[in-house]
Chains A and B, each alone.
Chain A
Amino acid sequence: MSRSTLGRWIPAVGVATLALAGSPAAAWAGAFDERGVFRVSADAAAFEAFVAPTYFVPDDAEESCTLKTFHEIIDDGTALEGATYARVDAPSACQVRFVVELPPVQASYRATLWMRHGSAGARVLVSYPAESGIPLQPARMAPTGRATSDGWIELATNEFPVDGTLSPTVYLRFADFADADGVDLDAFELVPAGEFVAGEACEGVRDPVCGPERTCISGQCVLGRLSVPPLPEPPLKQAMAAALAGRIEVFYGGRKTRLEDLPVARLSLARMRSAQSAWAYWSDFGRAVRELHDWHTSASAPVGESLAVTTARLNACFVEGDADRSRGTWPSHPAYRDILVSHVGNGSAGLAPGDRLVAVDGLHPLEWARGLVDVQWGYHVATDASSFADFAEALGGPAWSGGAMLLRYAREITVVRCDAGTGTCSDVAETLRIRDLPAVLGGPDVYCDNRPRYHLGDESPSEATHQVFYEIFDGPVANTTPEEAIYGMVWDTLYGGGDPNGYVNGKIRTLSAFWKQNARGVILDHRAGNGGTLDAPEYMTQLVRPPFTLAAVRMPIEIAGFEGPSTPAEGVALFEQSKAFSPYTVGADDHDPELPVALILHRDGSASDYMPLGMKGAPKVRIFGPGPTAGAFSTFVQFAYWGGLRMQLASGDTITFDGQPWIGRGVMPDQVVQQRQSDLMVGVDTLHEAALAWVRQELKQP
């Protein structure tokens, strides 16, 4: 068994409690005197003592949030400052908002707020008149680490700009939670800090005009520090970095990801300690988490959360494929597959199915997307290092679904257009600047699910939206005969949730029973597999194979820092040790050994990895897809910080009966099939056609 050493997962520094007395208070806003009495900062530009605060409710707030106020002013001798404070106790759908007045000048401020009991989401918003064209600007609040013996803790923003000459409304937005009887607020203070920064246009995420403290997103320089917690004072800065690293070192990953990816992330974690700005500090943290290179693993921060929606539209979805009609115009990349337009909606910049995206900012689209690891907080990568389907899927589609990478981060794209009528493609590549894409209104956004078409006739999902999401679609496969009795299912969720009769498990079980009685062949289309829970894959495998304990799911991580079995023999020992308590049990005695079942995959992770793993090798199963699944063979542990900052770490591994650790190893299709450009151009779904041909060849005897 591989062993990690205790010392290895102990970063170098840590701080528990530091008395503030006697320390310079220059970095803080309001200070405390020797008796612990709060003193308002002498240079505060605004201060709310919560005696009679000005509050408001937006016109478009939910009606239930407008019927009463959700705060009261309390004078009970326990205020932090003065005699009174506010107690907020709002329903989860509502927030409270308090307005402050600032001078009519261009300036930069840092806001602080003290709260006690429960927890909260707090942000300061700067709302400019509509005619200014400036979007609402949120600045998130998170702890500074300062606390008092009577329960108050300090939240703060980083420095944020306010153009007071435009008469903006500046207000605190506060949402309480995890409290028994409300959350108390006091001493909301805005102090001039830093330099005013005006908004600025930019092109592409690497545009140097934004400088190191801003990122170019959707054509605007986004001030990163507005969306991350304050930079902690040293030595708390070191201690927090060490604490975050400690969680990763103890809980992250399985064999592949600890051996190959964690060492990369450690370098970024180490850089946090020398960061000189909040944005640099938290960017290093975010980058480290992304460098862990795992489908389940993410760091999220609300970067660019209120960006004005760009007027440009690129209502198109992309898939990896085979550009069999345009290699003469643009050769294929030696390492990456070709990127083709799968399906489009209104406002696709003229792109049509079969057209080819050959470059983004001069790079192959997948190379470009992978390179965003240092800047893109929503970066999502397969654990298997050879799977890039997640990147291809996220290039297009709407931003609200995690897509629109091109619109948000690219400067220009290069495409090769094709003509379905002639079956040919242009011999000239065309470059489009993102900022020049036309604003096209009307028609739904198309969602990217890696399916150019559906094949369930009237039972299909909408080809106008491609929103499969949490639904399961089923029915006879189109263009087959009743005598063939070929049925299909289109679905992306495997969230059974432990309920055998719930929607997902119930549907799988009911359909399986029906197919065993009535079908001569089945096509399962799971091309945007979002995973779920282990029970749904187990039920699905019960259609096709006899019972077997295929693997042990050792997760979250069983031993701190465990690097997994280094030999198959160690792996077998671990499997034997865990199979009784955490088995992945596939199959059933009443499976149908004669029913051909084709499983079509494309971008599938986690429970959607387990399902093909459990079905692969069954006598009448054949898996079709362009490449490996994500290899996300674990669960995860979640960590919720303040101000919308979250971390999710994959934790643990899956060991099959033969001693193999599976994290980072996607399931390979039995038949590797690429979407062909020539097929897409004429509305043919290459993967489906391959699956249908095989099923027809293998039909169960009536």
Chain B
Amino acid sequence: MNRRDLGSTRLAAFALGLSAVAAPGCGSEERLSPVDRPSSSNSSGGGGAEPEPEPAVRQVFVRNPIGLPIDNLLADGDFELSIVPEAEAGGQYGWIALRGNGGTAPLLAETGGLCRSGLRCGRLPAGRILFGRGTAAPHELPHKASIWLKPVSWQPRPPAELAEPCESLADVYVLACDSFSVVGVLRPAALPSADGWCELRAELAGSTRALCMYAEIGEQELLLDNATLLAAPELASGPLPAPITPPTPTTERMRLVREQIRARMPLGSPKPLVTAMPRGPEAREGGLLD
């Protein structure tokens, strides 16, 4: 499929309002299109055996740097718009990383094809907590939630001896943003995808209150990408599920994170309007913001 064909297919899908078609990770894996090879007409046409083509070094592609899908109910599911210098960690971004005591931590990033989608993805060491801001679907529609994880150490596939490689990478919950009451637990797929990413997903009831994502990273440093919380009108709206109570240590950490987030929710300028004027090279070379 050439670039124009692929583009027009997706454009047509969106024109029908099927935004999820453009959403890698909504149940389908994003595939990197291999670089086209020269056509056979490039050969000399001689009768001898053609030399083996040299292997490709890399694939090249174009990805949306803003993040998809566009109707994601997570503010920055694709980890494109929450990667900031450490001094800004803890701002009201789509994702914030925290330590076990509730204190904020930097959210690291990986890039390009090392990520599952977009240009950037999240990277967190073992034991960290990740909080993702979101909202709920209108009309109390049910939801589908998903996030893709991959240990940094997998190159790119998990070690063959792992029977259940996607188990225990992280505990991921969807919860009410205000109360932190858990409304769903994301369960890992049995096996990773061909490129070594593990999907965790859940189906959730409709909600009248905003939903957020909360993850506790397990014992391995992880890449995180392509998280989605999407309205799922195709799911039947059944009775509300029974409340989910995470293990006590998790509940305690959730309480600390909730306190941190609620207490520091900014209403106005979180810091003084002016703290310091740029000096030296910063003053001459432009603004402070990168």
> Nearest residue in B to A118 (C-beta to C-beta)?
B109
- Do the beta carbons of A530 and B274 come within 8 Å of each other? no
Smallest Cβ-Cβ distance to B57: which chain A residue: A36
Residues of B close to A67: CB separation below 8 A: none
CB distance from A137 to the nearest CB of B (A): 9
Q: Are B66 and A250 in contact (CB under 8 A)?
A: no
* A220: B residues at CB distance < 8 A: none
Q: How far is the CB of B120 from chain A (nearest CB, A)?
A: 6
Mask, B6-34, CB within 8 Å of A = 1, is: 11001100110101001110000011111
Q: A22-B36, A35-B56, A558-B209 are in contact. Are A151 and B114 (CB under 8 A)?
A: yes
Give bound CA distance, A484 to B72, whole Å: 60
Instruction: Let me know if A210 is at the binding interface, CB within 8 A.
Output: no
Inter-chain contacts of B141 with A (CB < 8 A): 6
Alpha-carbon gap, A493 to B274, bound state (A): 12
Complex contacts, A37 vs chain B, CB 8 Å: 57
Interfacial residues of chain B within 32-87, with CB under 8 A of chain A in the complex: 32-38, 54-73, 75-76, 80-87
Q: Does B203 contact A (CB under 8 A)?
A: no
Chain B interface SS verdict (over half): loop
Query: Is the CB of B210 closer than 8 A to any CB of chain A?
Result: yes
A149/B286 in contact, CB under 8 A: no
Contact of A4 among B35, B59, B81, B138 (CB under 8 A): B138
Please determine whether A641 and B65 come into contact, CB atoms closer than 8 angstroms.
yes
Beta-carbon nearest neighbor of B265 in chain A = A635
Contact A535 B263 (CB under 8 A): yes
Known: A35-B57, A145-B119. Contact between A18 and B135, CB under 8 A?
Answer: no
Closest to A495 in B: B270
Assess the B60–A36 pair: CB atoms within 8 A.
yes
Chain B 183-221 interface residues, beta-carbon cutoff 8 Å to A:
208-210
CB of A559 within 8 A of CB of B112, answer no
Across the two chains, which residue of chain B brings its CB closest to A499?
Answer: B263
Q: Is B107 an interface residue (CB 8 A)?
A: yes
Which of chain A's residues 12-64 have a Cβ closer than 8 Å to chain B? 12-23, 32, 34-37, 58, 60-62
A282 to B: closest C-beta gap in Å:
13
A300: contacting residue among B35, B71, B289, CB under 8 A = B289
Closest to B178 in A: A581
Q: Min CB distance, B170 to chain A, in Å?
A: 18
Q: When chains A and B are docked, how far (Å) is the Cα of A400 from the Cα of B276? A: 9
CB within 8 Å of A: which of B99-147? 106-114, 117, 119-120, 123, 133, 135-139, 141
With A36-B58, A149-B59 given, is the CB distance from A640 to B119 under 8 Å?
A: no
Q: Measured between alpha carbons, how far is A580 from B180 in the docked complex, in Å? A: 13
Q: Cβ of A153 and Cβ of B119 under 8 Å apart?
A: yes
Report A76 CB to chain B, min CB distance, Å: 14
Chain B residue total in the interface (Cβ 8 A): 112
Q: With A14-B19, A498-B264, A559-B135 in contact, is A145–B63 under 8 Å at CB?
A: yes
Whether, in the assembled complex, A187 has its beta carbon less than 8 Å from a beta carbon of chain B, the answer is no
Q: Are B273 and A402 closer than 8 Å at their CB atoms?
A: yes
From the candidates B23, B58, B76, name the one contacting A16 in the complex (CB within 8 A): B23
Asked if B64 contacts A147 (CB within 8 A), the reply is no
Given contacts A32-B35, A115-B111, A556-B133, whether A532 and B62 have CB atoms under 8 Å apart is no
Question: B3 touches which one: A13, A18, A302, A642 (CB < 8 A)?
Answer: A18
B153: chain A residues within 8 A (beta carbon): none
Residues on A with C-beta less than 8 A from B274 are: 400-401, 467, 469
**Minimal beta-carbon separation of B32 from chain A (angstroms):** 6
Q: Does B236 contact A (CB under 8 A)?
A: no
B286–A138 CB distance below 8 A:
yes
Q: Contact between B62 and A233 (Cβ–Cβ < 8 Å)?
A: yes
Contact A240/B65 with A18-B7, A119-B120, A644-B290 known, Cβ cut-off 8 Å = yes
Question: CB within 8 Å of B: which residues of A?
Answer: 3-7, 9-23, 32, 34-37, 58, 60-62, 92, 95, 115-123, 125, 136, 138, 140, 142-153, 173, 175, 177-180, 233, 235-236, 238-240, 242-247, 250-251, 296, 300, 302, 305-306, 400-402, 467, 469-470, 493-495, 497-499, 529-535, 555-562, 577-578, 580-582, 605-608, 610, 632, 634-644, 646-647
Q: List 17 A-B contacts (CB under 8 A).
A: A20-B62, A21-B34, A34-B35, A35-B55, A36-B35, A115-B111, A117-B111, A118-B109, A149-B112, A239-B64, A243-B64, A250-B71, A469-B272, A559-B135, A581-B209, A606-B266, A639-B76
Known: A6-B138, A136-B284, A635-B265. 9 other contacts (CB 8 A): A119-B111, A144-B62, A245-B70, A306-B284, A499-B263, A532-B269, A581-B178, A608-B268, A638-B91
Minimum-distance CB pairs A-B, first 5: A531-B268, A121-B290, A498-B263, A19-B33, A246-B70
